[in-house]
Structure 1
């Protein structure tokens, strides 16, 4: 007789029965805690295989400081108003030392590539100055060996029509100012202005003239600079002060530069529209070139040699009385009264470093960021060489890069001195907003 053992089934509570009921179909018996654990594991596995939810993550925040200062876009010769300026920022902020936005472009119909800092307007005016036929001439009173000439390009629609008068032709922007051979440095100054992104000087090229309309001293084979003649430069009606758009003394100028002061000069509308940033550009430019005629024509910022014009004309003696000191060649265009125009930029290439004129920087507390970035990049010489190659006459006359390097090294050393000055005086830089 076989014995049969019967194991009684335990009674289950409602909760236990519900937890184990699915597993009974599989012949499995689990305790309530184990069943709960298995269910949790299956739930997690299901979540893992669900499709990802839509991405609602926030966009990345913009950088606190831009990677580099933007270049000015405005064409200084187009007559547009000056760009607004951002508040100064400390020079010690994190910045790239490389100048921004560098590159080259190929001109339409021209094989040679041109630097981007030379605008199409610059290139057109340079071509007019370098290749235009002289069709008229006018002496500039009280300016010695300086002559204004009307120019026409071969194949121009006006090529067969002589101008009714030089004045009328110059109103069309088709004139240039031929200067002395000793002023050839103005061509370098123009390229320096463009490389630094200041865009305040007028186009200039070097040229030899052969026109029968010109005196022999202009056609003897010597290389002279010719500067584009801006037809709407604003001059004072005062015959003794016609090289200014506004009459401005040194003390007034220094008062204008004070922080948080409006640039107002009583009864002088043109000067009141010139913002602080324009004086900063002028001071930086003049210091690199050591141009004294605008901000320090009396040579008060250094001990001049007896041969200096400020000594020969007895101007240096006026340094004892600041009230007698005035600024010269402070010019704007009627089409852009808030932008300075830099003229007579020959400067002093041989001015010794121990006599650098720091008075040109007096009162300036900030400088344009784009220009400072270029000075800090260490590429100033190479950029200038790239730009100067566009002027074939100047390039060949100076012996190419080999002949120009000593001159560019002088500018580069002054740039390093200026950067040290900015750092030692804890000065700031400002950036221009897009126009």
Structure 2
């Protein structure tokens, strides 16, 4: 989660809530939080819009996979008015930012909570909870953690960014980039530059508790190299599909 925040900032996406690793000592917290183990602390934004439905409060927008693919084709905000169906008020370029971020980290619990785009381990929650069994019926697939701010409903906010560092390169989830026809130019330029490692190390060093708990640069390099490898695969995908790059205004 902390690593995801730093990756988000280094790539120039600026979509994740600030996150740090800290050791807590306050007596008002439950014992499990003050046992000496560092824990993530996330700055929460009260402006994030949650649906009133208790069973769907981790979304600002109720969105199925089928609907999501339709709005991608509509290119909302550029070729279709944000207020016209199938658009839901989110700018088209936002989905490319989300897809790039989630692919690099292999975050599936957002665009692919059912684990349909890769072969999950039998112990995965999506298998145990029988979500994986729904993959055959596309119309039943729903998106989760699709969030916006009340004061800025056209841009996404990324939360619950736990990725899959152990996901092998021959089992990457390409469903995360399905239907995406453009990616953010700045983030792609960072991936192309060969500077991702140095930029991430410099950023991660600012959270000394996270840095020290992960063994400093030597302990963090394998994680960074994993993201670099996925970045190269994504760059090849962009070249193969001749996808556009979106310049931030």
Query: Shorter-chain TM-score: what band?
Result: over 0.9
1:196 to 2, 11, 14: 11
Correspondence for 1:211: 26
Correspondence for 1:243: 58
Name the SS of the counterpart of 1:318 in structure 2.
helix
Q: Deviations over 1:143-178 (max 9, x none)?
A: xxxxxxxxxxxxxxxxxxxxxxxxxxxxxxxxxxxx
Residues 61 and 88 of structure 2 are in contact (CA less than 8 Å); yes or no, is this contact kept in structure 1? no
1:333 to 129, 146, 149: 149
Correspondence for 2:37: 222
1:255 to 44, 67, 70: 70
In the aligned structure 2, how far is the partner of 1:265 from the partner of 1:206? 40
Name the SS of the counterpart of 2:155 in structure 1.
strand
1:297 to 87, 105, 113: 113
Q: Deviations over 1:283-341 (max 9, x none)?
A: 00000000001100001101111011100100011111111101000000112111100
Residues 97 and 184 of structure 2 are in contact (CA less than 8 Å); yes or no, is this contact kept in structure 1? yes
Q: Deviations over 1:114-136 (max 9, x none)?
A: xxxxxxxxxxxxxxxxxxxxxxx
Residues 263 and 276 of structure 1 are in contact (CA less than 8 Å); yes or no, is this contact kept in structure 2? no
2:175 to 330, 350, 359: 359
Using the size of structure 1 for normalisation, the TM-score is 0.55
Correspondence for 1:418: 234
Structure 1 gap ranges (5+): 1-185
Structure 2 gap ranges (5+): none
Correspondence for 1:429: 245
Equivalent pairs, count = 246
Once superposed, which parts of structure 1, at least 4 consecutive aligned residues long, lie more than 6 Å away?
265-268
Q: Deviations over 1:20-68 (max 9, x none)?
A: xxxxxxxxxxxxxxxxxxxxxxxxxxxxxxxxxxxxxxxxxxxxxxxxx
In the aligned structure 2, how far is the partner of 1:347 from the partner of 1:365? 23
Q: 1:295 to 1:216 in 2, by over 3 A?
A: same
Q: Deviations over 1:8-28 (max 9, x none)?
A: xxxxxxxxxxxxxxxxxxxxx
Name the SS of the counterpart of 2:66 in structure 1.
helix
Report the RMSD for the aligned CA atoms in angstroms.
Answer: 1.5
User: Would you tell me which structure has more helix in proportion to its own residues?
Assistant: 2
In the aligned structure 2, how far is the partner of 1:278 from the partner of 1:191? 19
Correspondence for 1:172: none
Deviation at 1:272, TM superposition (A): 2.2
Determine which structure has more spread, i.e. the larger CA radius of gyration.
Answer: 1
